[in-house]
Structure 1
Amino acid sequence: MSHKDNNQKSSKTAMLAAFHRALANHEFNNNEIHGPDHLSRFFLPSFKRFILNFTFIRSLVKAKLKKIIPGMDELMIARTAFYDGLFKDALNNNFPQIVLLGAGYDTRILRFADLNNATRIIELDVLSTQNNKKKCLEKANIRIPEHVTLTSVDFNKESIPDVLEKAGYDRHLKTLFIWEGVTMYLEPASVDRTLEVVTRFSNSDSIIAFDYLVTIPSGEINNWYGVKEILQIMKKQYGDEKFIFSIDEGKIGIFLDERGLKMTEHFDSRTLEKKFLTRKDGSLIGNMMAAYGIVTAMMK
C-alpha cells in the first residue's frame, strides 16, 4: 500500500497484491492450497481481468512474474492464507472488534461476512486507495456490510488512536489488529506509534499480527531467494512506495519486548512454505521470497 500524501494515486503495490490473489484463485481454487480471493479481480484493470480468463496466458504471466520477482506469487498466497485464517478465527470466536491497519484491496469483510455475528470491523487506509476500492465495489454492485467502517489515514502523519476513535473504535473491547503488507513502507517511528495503539489504547487481551522484512547486509543479498529481484523491481516500477523498514534476522522477539509486546506466534519464509504452500503429497507449489516473516503478539 502507499503511505504518502492522501491526494496521490492509489497504491500500485496494493494493486499488485490484488492481481496475485486473483491469479491464485484461478490456479488453486481448491481445498489443497489455501489463499485464493475470488473477489480481488474486481479491483483490476479490464485488461488484467481479461488475462485471467485464459489458462495459456495465465501460464505465460506466471512464468514472467517468476523470472522478474521470484517467490512473490508464493509469498502472496501464503500471506493471504495466514491472515484469512486469523480473520476467520476471530469471527468464529466472536471477537467484538477487528481493525485492519492498511487494508488495501483486502476483501475479508466480504468473503467471510457470513461468519460475522456482531463483530465491529474498521478498515484504515490512505484516502486514494480507499476511494478506488469503494468505486470498484460499487461498479461490481457489491455493498460494504453495515458492520464495517472504512476510514482514511496517513500512517506517517496522523494519530492512529484519534482516527480510530472517530471511526467508532472502542479501546475497551478485545480487538484483533491485522497489519498486512504495511510495515516495510513506513518510517521506524511510524511503526512504533502504530504498535503503541495496542500497548496503550487497546484491551489487554487484544492481538496484533503483522508481517515484516528481514534486514539483509548488501553483500548477502544474492544469498536470499528473490530479494535482489524484488529490490530492483520496487526501485524501477514502484518508486513512490519504497522499502524503508526492516528487522534484524532473529531479533523479532527482542523488538517486540522492547515495545511492551510478547510474541505469541512467528513464521519465517520456510515455515510459511511448509504450512501454506505444501500439497497433500508433500511437494511445494514453489518457494516464496526469503527475508520475510509474520508475527502475532499481545501485551506483556
Structure 2
Amino acid sequence: MSQKDNGQKSSKTAMLAAFHRALAHLEFNSEIHGPDHLSRFFLPSFKRFILNFKFLRTMVKTKLKKVIPGMDELMIARTAFYDGLFKDALNNNFPQIVLLGAGYDTRVLRFSDLNNATKIIELDILSTQNNKKKCLEKADIRIPEHVTFASVDFNKESIPHVLEKAGYDRHLKTLFIWEGVTMYLEPASVDSTLEVVTRFSDSDSIIAFDYLVTIPAAEINNWYGVKEMLQIMKKQYGDEKFIFSIDEGKIGVFLDERGLKMIEHLDSRTLEEKFLTCKDGSLIGNMMAAYGIVTAMMK
C-alpha cells in the first residue's frame, strides 16, 4: 500500500479513540493520565465544537456512559499505559520505536522533547495516515524529522518488508507498540505480526499490545460494558469488526506458543487500580471488562 490506498477508508475507530482522548484531556483529572492536548486537531468541526463547552461535554459523557459504559475509562487507562511505556523507552534511549497501527497517536509530538536519537516508524493504512498528515498540516504542526510514516495493510502485506523500506533496522533494540489493533485482525495476521518480534528484531526488543478476552455468549452480561460495546460496534462501525480475542487466563500460553515470554500483564481490574485511582483512593469509574494489555519479549 505504499503507492495506493486499495480502497480502504480512514479508520473510524481511530477517530473514536482520538475523540475519547480529547474529551479526557478536558474532563478528567490529569493526575491520573497524560493529557493528549493534540488529539482534538484530528476531529471533525462539530466534535471540536462540542469540546469547547463544558455542558456539551457533560451531555456527551452521560450519553457515552449509557451507550458504551466503561469506554472513556478504558481509553484513559490505555493511553496512560502506552504513554508511560513510550516515555520510558525514550528516557532509556531505545534506538528504535515502531508504532504498529498508530492511528491518530500523538506521542511522537507530545514527547518529542524526550527524544535524543530514537528512530520512530509509524505504520497504518494509507488513508488514515494521509488524513493524519493533512490535519497536522492544517494545525501548523510539523512532523519531527526522526519520524517516518509507512503505510501497511496488516491483513495483506508483509510487515518486515514494509518496515525495511521505511528504514527499520532489525539489529537495533526496538519497542513495538501495538495499540488497539489486534481485535480487528484475522488470527493469522496477529501471528505474522508477532513474528516480526521473534524473527526480525533484536533479542532485547519488547512488544506491548492490548487484546479482548473471549466471552461466551451466555456470560456476556457478566462483563461490564461488553454487550453494549459489541452492539455499538455492529451498529456504527460495521466496517471494523471485532475478529480476534484470547481466552481468559490463556495469555501466557498464547505468548509461549509464539516464542514470546511475558514481562507484564494487566487485566481490566489491574488497569483500574493503576491508572484510574485518585489520590484519595476513589475510582474515576470502572472500565470495560474483558480487556488486557501485555508486554513481552523473545524467549
Asked if the contact 1:211–1:295 (Cα under 8 Å) also holds between the matched residues in 2, the reply is yes
How big is the shift at 1:4? 13
Asked if the contact 1:2–1:12 (Cα under 8 Å) also holds between the matched residues in 2, the reply is no
Q: Spell out, residue by residue over 1:181-228, the C-alpha distance to the aligned partner (whole angstroms, 9 max, x if none).
A: 000000000000000000000000000000000000000000000000
Asked if the contact 2:211–2:293 (Cα under 8 Å) also holds between the matched residues in 1, the reply is yes
* Pairing 1:143–2:142 present: yes
Q: Spell out, residue by residue over 1:111-138, the C-alpha distance to the aligned partner (whole angstroms, 9 max, x if none).
A: 0000000000000000010100000000
Asked if the contact 1:4–1:154 (Cα under 8 Å) also holds between the matched residues in 2, the reply is no
How big is the shift at 1:33? 1.5
How big is the shift at 1:2? 16
Asked if the contact 1:3–1:126 (Cα under 8 Å) also holds between the matched residues in 2, the reply is no
Asked if the contact 2:173–2:205 (Cα under 8 Å) also holds between the matched residues in 1, the reply is yes
Asked if the contact 1:2–1:10 (Cα under 8 Å) also holds between the matched residues in 2, the reply is no
How big is the shift at 1:8? 2.3
Q: Distance in 2 between matches of 1:76 and 1:108?
A: 15
> What root-mean-square deviation, in Å, do the aligned CA atoms of Structure 1 and Structure 2 show?
1.9
Asked if the contact 2:99–2:122 (Cα under 8 Å) also holds between the matched residues in 1, the reply is yes
Structure 2 stretches of 5 or more lacking a match? none
Asked if the contact 2:2–2:150 (Cα under 8 Å) also holds between the matched residues in 1, the reply is no
Asked if the contact 1:209–1:296 (Cα under 8 Å) also holds between the matched residues in 2, the reply is yes
**In the superposition, relative to structure 1, how do residues 3 and 138 fare at CA in structure 2: closer, same or farther (>3 Å)?**
closer
TM-score of the superposed pair, with normalisation by structure 2? 0.98
Asked if the contact 1:24–1:35 (Cα under 8 Å) also holds between the matched residues in 2, the reply is no
Q: Spell out, residue by residue over 1:272-300, the C-alpha distance to the aligned partner (whole angstroms, 9 max, x if none).
A: 00000000000000000000000000000
Q: Distance in 1 between matches of 2:49 and 2:149?
A: 29
Percent identity between matched residues is 90
Alignment: residue pair count: 299
Q: Distance in 2 between matches of 1:132 and 1:19?
A: 15
Moved more, 225-234 or 3-12: 3-12
Equivalent residue number for residue 8 of structure 2:
8
TM-score of the superposed pair, with normalisation by structure 1? 0.98
How big is the shift at 1:5? 6.6
Structure 1 stretches of 5 or more lacking a match? none
Asked if the contact 2:4–2:126 (Cα under 8 Å) also holds between the matched residues in 1, the reply is no
**In the superposition, relative to structure 1, how do residues 238 and 2 fare at CA in structure 2: closer, same or farther (>3 Å)?**
farther
